[in-house]
Chains A and B, each alone.
Chain A
Amino acid sequence: MTTTSPVEKAGGATAQYVDKRIGSNKFLSRNLGKVFPDHWSFMLGEIALYSFIVVLLTGVFLTLWFKPSMVEVVYDGSYVPLQGIKMSEAYASALDISFDVRGGMLLRQMHHWAALIFVAAMAVHMFRVFFTGAFRKPREFNWLIGVGLTTLGLLAGFSGYSLPDDLLSGTGLQIARGIMQAAPIVGTWAAFLLFGGEFPGTDFISRLYSVHILLIPGLILGLVTAHLMLVWTQKHTQFPGPGRTNDNVVGYPLLPVYMAKAGGFFFIVFGIIALVGGLVTINPIWIFGPFTPDQVSAGSQPDWYIGFLDGALRMMPNWESSFWGITISWNIIIPAMILPGLMFTALGLYPFLESWLTGDKREHNLLDRPRNAPVRTGIGVMAITFYALLWVGGANDIIATAFDLSINSIIWFLRVSIFILPPIAFVVTKRICLGLQRRDRDKLLHGYESGRVLRLPHGEFIEVHQPLSAKDLAVITAKTDVAPLPAPEKADADGVRNKHYRIGTLRHRLSTAFFGDNVARPTDAEIEAGQHHAEHDAALEAPLHEYEDADQISPGRGGALHHPGMAETNAEQMDERSQH
């Protein structure tokens, strides 16, 4: 019924040609109809991927004009305020890209905006994966890859905005060097080797350049490929819903719907980045001026994703120990090395920790609703609160000026609240989750409250409960109850001491904490009874037969035909209904 065009014929012939050599049709046959589930939150990872592609594309364009050299030149480009000023070739070429290459400013701004969106999308994507438990077996590797990608994303961004060698980026490098120098034992050597001697030297920008355009993007590209291949072979997780189980995928086939939607979405992201790059100035390096190690601009802020490190540095008390001719700069080592190290390690280990302490080794393809894992959700919100406070610390000078507060009191507030607010966030979140679970249970047992009040013939008022829709029912009943790990025996029946008693007790306690407070899911019979009851409730509300003109059909007025044997009056009808 369809005709084949010459183009299609050629395409088919090409497919055959390729297939004979690499067997590609096997792959196509299996995958063109591959099913992808749909949910708005699944687009977050896509945004990260697409903005990364935009970063690659615009980055390649930038390399055509950017000169990664710290050789001093005198600027003679068309930006008047800096004409005649000495600066590094890197900075001069970044100015040229901005003012003398047509479209260069757009490329620079698109590159920078895409980088910001890339890191932000990765972070929010990670939240989605965390709060829905998508990292659970069998997807732990992809979680680890994701943590690696986030780390690399930060490094890519930092190495990128350090390249133009303006006053702001140079200050960032100066701080990075100061941190490096504080590293125990190897600090000064590491700094001298990387910078080719003292700060700023003349080597660093060109070294950073190959890291920025080759090493890090290469690693990211490799990890992204592995990430996507895993998503492909393991198939996407899905939210609970009608017809969705742990063993199937419900969604749209790759060809054509998913391809059109995902492909289209790439162009949307790309287009929006171009629009933002055209309209919104980012990193106006010409305002900062060229870098020199003895000047700084006040209120200088790094890109958003570095803010938490800056905040940690600001909040840390000024501890330092000197003895036996050495110095340990706790004020730098703790916030800038130990803390990020711990944060990323904890992030990476979380899936393994959770599965260990819950004893959960099942495969999970159906996502958790965050409320159904209150402890995990609490931990997530706690971590975000912690991160947010560090981030606030990074902006303390801006907050101080904006709200006319003293920096001193902001820092003291943060130093205290970084220990107090995250636990509070945990408790509050967990409570909210349990509250939502209770509401879900009520819905299963009584239907959902319609908000309509009905007066029964004998004078009683009831609120009408309606049965849940098939979708709600499927979503809510997808919750499974998991029993905490049992407490271990001190010794077995033969009196042999249990060697794993202590660790067993620990796991018992932890898993009890993890699952113990969960609101039990009603049994299927209870749910059915509850829904049936709600149906009955709802039936009470149905329009009554018109008894007066009962032998006439009056559809216009909603009347109904009266059959013999039917209740006659309104009161009778209501009585009959409420007897069920």
Chain B
Amino acid sequence: MTDITPHGGHDQQPAKLGYSPRADIEHRLRLADTDPKAARRAERQVTSMFLLSMVFVVLFVVAYIGIDPSTEVYIPVFGLTSALNIALGLTLGLAIFLIGAGAIQWAKKLMPDVEVVQQRHDQLSPDSDTQEAAANYERGKEESGFARFRMLRRTLIGALIVFPIPLVIMLKDLWVPTPEEEGKSPADILSTTLWTADMRIVSDGTYKPVRPEDLPVGGLISAVPADLQEVEELQGNLNARGKAAIILVRMEPDEIRAQQGDGWDYQGILAYSKICTHVGCPIALYEQRTHHLLCPCHQSTFDLADAGNVVFGPAARRMPQLQIGVDAEGYLVAKSDFAEPVGPSFWERG
């Protein structure tokens, strides 16, 4: 054979069959190179890995058929998990892994471990090729008249530049405004919410109107406008909720140091937007001792006793406050929509 067989010496014939010559590096023989018994052991080892792989495929099928998907098992470290998932993962994983382990073992123990050498070649094309390419280019330029027909060239380039415009224009209808959105810019739409004067405040989840007595001092309620459910039904999306969600908190009236408008609270009950002014996460962490509202996304902190101003974190704007009062039946209502856009800033916001 040729010089990449492990037993070959340095003085072998030069490369045959396109094989590369072995590298001139010291090389130690492996056990399997010298001892036929060791070679047979390695062969048996690899064979059993391939066999085992097939066994695991059978076990996979057995598990797939035999294990009920709802069975759970407790495995130390990994906790309580689906028995089927573990069984399938183990059998499939081992079936595949063993093929790889076998192949590598085969390569390591039984294939030649002698390094060989190949010469590299310059990436540069030979001069003749470069010249031929250049000549062809010149010929093409000459024959097409690309250089001579100036108008032809310019109009072609012009046409190629403008032809993608329709493709871009068609992207406009990625957003088809709803009838209510018709004629409004994104900035307009972002600047209004469902809240209107005398809209009842209902608690999120139960959709029950809220009375001042429902909220003890120090308490917090997530709330939405009374007509939200109806609107969501109508629109078939969660857009209105994403802007109108608020939190109600109650503190002693003398704890309130500042508000966004005079008397916007109702007996110490304050309503603030729930949507972070940083990049829009809903906020829920409220520390009643400090009156701080903390956003879980990037930890912007707002002081609800101080007009919702930012006390820490990357948010630049205060939390918008909703002016509230009670209606004739004693339920909490909004006095108007928010005075400023809720949620993250945007270019046209001013």
Q: Which residues of A contact B (CB under 8 A)?
A: 29-30, 33-35, 38, 70-72, 78, 99-100, 102-103, 105-106, 109-110, 138, 171, 174-175, 177-179, 181-189, 191-203, 233-235, 241-243, 246-253, 256-257, 260-261, 263-281, 292-300, 310, 313-320, 322, 325-329, 331-332, 335, 363, 365, 396-397, 407-408, 411, 470
Once the chains bind, are A326 and B101 in contact (CB under 8 Å)?
Answer: no
- CB pair B100–A271 under 8 Å, yes or no, is yes
Contacts A267-B99, A271-B98, A280-B78 given; does A199 touch B242 at CB 8 Å? yes
Nearest chain B CB to A384's CB is how many angstroms away? 23
Q: How far is the CA of A328 from the CA of B242 in the complex (A)?
A: 23
Binding site for A on B (CB under 8 A): 4, 17-20, 23-26, 64, 69-70, 75, 78-79, 81-82, 84-90, 92-104, 106-108, 111-113, 115-120, 122-123, 171-172, 174-178, 181, 185-187, 189-190, 204, 222, 224, 236-239, 241-243, 245, 274-275, 278-285, 296-300, 310, 312-317, 343-350
A295 near B242: Cβ-Cβ < 8 Å: no
Contact A249 B117 (CB under 8 A): yes
Contact: A200 with B348, CB < 8 Å?
A: no
In the A-B complex, the 4 residue pairs with the smallest Cβ-Cβ separation, listed nearest first, are A278-B89, A271-B97, A178-B279, A267-B100
Given A103-B64, A193-B172, A264-B104, output 9 extra A-B contacts at Cβ < 8 Å.
Answer: A105-B84, A196-B175, A241-B25, A265-B104, A268-B97, A296-B296, A314-B313, A328-B347, A363-B122
Q: Which of chain A's residues have a CB closer than 8 A to the CB of B115? A: 38, 243, 250-252
Q: Which of A35, A177, A183, A396 contacts B116 (CB 8 A)?
A: A35
Contact B111 A257, beta carbon cutoff 8 Å: yes
Complex-state Cα separation, A271 to B49, whole angstroms: 13
- A325 CA to B185 CA, complexed, in Å: 15
A240–B119 Cα distance when bound, in Å, is: 15
Determine which of A109, A260, A278, A319 lies in contact with B106 in the assembled complex, contact meaning CB atoms within 8 Å.
Answer: A260
Q: A175, A200, A248: which contacts B238 (Cβ < 8 A)?
A: A200
Cα distance, A203 to B297, chains bound together (Å): 24
The answer on a CB contact under 8 Å between B236 and A266 is: no
Q: Which residues of chain A come closer than 8 Å to B78, judged between CB atoms? A: 279-281
Cα A277 to Cα B91 in complex, Å, equals 12
Q: In whole Å, how far is B210's beta carbon from the nearest beta carbon of chain A? A: 16
The residue on B at minimum CB distance from A107 is B88
A260: chain B residues within 8 A (beta carbon): 103-104, 106-107, 111
Contact between chains at B347 and A264 (CB < 8 Å): no
Per a CB cutoff under 8 Å, which of A182, A199, A298, A313 touches B285? A298
| Contact present for A278 and B296 (CB under 8 Å) | no
Give the distance to chain B from A268, nearest Cβ to Cβ, in Å.
Answer: 4
A242 touches B85 (CB 8 A): no
Contact A192 B26 (CB under 8 A): no
Most chain A CB within 10 A, of B98, B177, B316, is at B316
Instruction: Judge whether A253 and B347 touch: CB under 8 Å.
Output: no
CB distance B281 to A248 under 8 Å?
no
A331 touches B103 (CB 8 A): no
Which residues on B sit within 8 Å (CB–CB) of A280?
A: 78
Given contacts A175-B281, A189-B186, contact A264 B243 (CB under 8 A): no
Asked whether, in the complex, the Cβ of B347 is within 8 Å of the Cβ of A296, the reply is no
- Closest Cβ of chain A to B113, distance in Å, is 8
CB contacts (< 8 Å) of B86 on chain A: these are 278-279
Are A268 and B237 in contact, with the CB atoms below 8 A?
A: no
B245–A177 contact, CB under 8 A? no
Q: Which residues of A contact B348 (CB under 8 A)?
A: 188, 325-327
Interfacial chain A residues near B24, Cβ < 8 Å? 242-243
Q: A507 vs B300: C-alpha distance in the bound complex, in angstroms?
A: 45
C-alpha gap A396/B296 in the complex (Å): 11
Contact indicator B316/A331 (Cβ below 8 Å): yes
Report how far A99 CA is from B345 CA in the complex, Å.
Answer: 40
Of the listed residues B19, B101, B120, the one surrounded by the most CB atoms of chain A closer than 10 A to its CB is B120
Q: From A243, A269, A328, A332, give the contact of B25 (CB < 8 A).
A: A243
- Residues of chain A with a CB closer than 8 A to B79's CB: 281
**Smallest Cβ distance from A205 to chain B, in angstroms?**
12
Q: Name the residue of chain B whose CB is nearest to the CB of A299.
A: B296
Give CA–CA (A383, B233) in the complex, Å.
51
In the assembled complex, which residues on chain B have CB atoms less than 8 Å from the CB atom of A102? Answer: 64, 69, 84, 88
In the complex, how many angstroms separate the beta carbon of A298 from the nearest chain B beta carbon? 5
Please state if A327 and B279 are interface contacts (CB–CB under 8 Å): no
B186 touches A192 (CB 8 A): yes
Of B87, B313, B350, most A-chain CB atoms within 10 Å? B313
B314 near A313 with CB under 8 A, answer: yes
How far, in whole Å, are A246 and B274 apart by their CA atoms in the complex? 63
Is the beta-carbon distance between A175 and B93 smaller than 8 angstroms? Answer: no
Smallest CB separation, B332 vs chain A (Å): 18
CA–CA, A551 to B133, complex, Å? 82
CA of A183 to CA of B186, assembled, Å: 14
Which of B90, B107, B280 interacts with A199 by CB under 8 Å? B280
Q: B117 to A35, Cβ gap below 8 A?
A: yes
Question: Considering the chains assembled together, what is the distance between the CA atoms of A327 and B350 in angstroms?
Answer: 5
Most chain B CB neighbours (cut-off 10 Å) among A70, A197, A246, A470? A197
Instruction: List the A side residues contacting B242 at CB < 8 Å.
Output: 174, 198-200, 293-294
Q: How far is the CA of A264 from the CA of B97 in the complex (A)?
A: 9
Asked whether, in the complex, the Cβ of B204 is within 8 Å of the Cβ of A294, the reply is yes
Alpha-carbon distance A100/B122, docked complex (angstroms): 58
Tell me the complex Cα distance, A182–B190, Å: 13
Q: Are B316 and A320 in contact (CB under 8 A)?
A: yes
Within the complex, the shortest CB–CB distance from B102 to chain A, in Å, comes to 7
B174 touching A278 by the CB < 8 A rule?
no
Residue of A nearest to B97 (CB): A271
B residues within 8 A CB of A294? 204, 222, 224, 241-242, 245, 274-275, 282
Question: What are 16 contact pairs spanning A and B, CB under 8 A?
Answer: A178-B278, A187-B346, A198-B190, A235-B118, A264-B102, A268-B97, A269-B100, A273-B93, A275-B94, A278-B85, A292-B238, A300-B297, A316-B314, A326-B348, A327-B347, A327-B349
Contact in complex: B314, A78 (CB < 8 Å): no
Q: Which residues of B are found within 8 Å of A177, using beta-carbon distances?
A: 279-280
Q: Is the CB of A33 within 8 A of B19?
A: yes
A571 to B97, CA, bound (A): 63
Residue in A38, A182, A233, A264 with the greatest tally of chain B CB atoms within 10 Å:
A264
- Cross-interface CB contact of B298 among A29, A72, A313, cutoff 8 Å: A313
Q: Which residues of B contact A281 (CB under 8 A)?
A: 78-79, 81
Q: What residues of chain B lie closer than 8 Å to A249, measured between beta carbons?
A: 117-118, 120
In the complex, the answer to whether A198 meets B189 with C-beta atoms within 8 Å is: yes
The answer to whether B97 touches A272, judged by C-beta atoms less than 8 angstroms apart, is yes
Chain B nearest CB from A34 CB (Å) reads 7
Q: Nearest CB to that of A394 among chain B residues?
A: B298
- B345/A327 in contact, CB under 8 A: yes
Query: A198-B243, A275-B90 are known contacts. Are A298 and B313 too (CB-CB below 8 A)?
Result: no
Query: Nearest-CB distance from B183 to chain A (Å)?
Result: 14
Determine the chain A residues whose CB is within 8 A of the CB of B241 once the complex forms: 292-294
> Given A201-B237, A260-B111, A265-B100, does the pair A184, B347 have CB atoms closer than 8 Å?
yes
Nearest-neighbour CB distance to chain A for B310, whole angstroms, equals 6
Q: Are B281 and A171 in contact (CB under 8 A)?
A: yes
Contacts of B239 in A (CB 8 A): 197-201
The reply to whether A250 and B298 form a contact with Cβ atoms under 8 Å apart is no
Q: Note all chain A residues with C-beta closer than 8 A to B102.
A: 264
The reply to whether A197 and B175 form a contact with Cβ atoms under 8 Å apart is yes
Given contacts A182-B279, A188-B190, A264 and B107 within 8 Å (CB-CB): yes
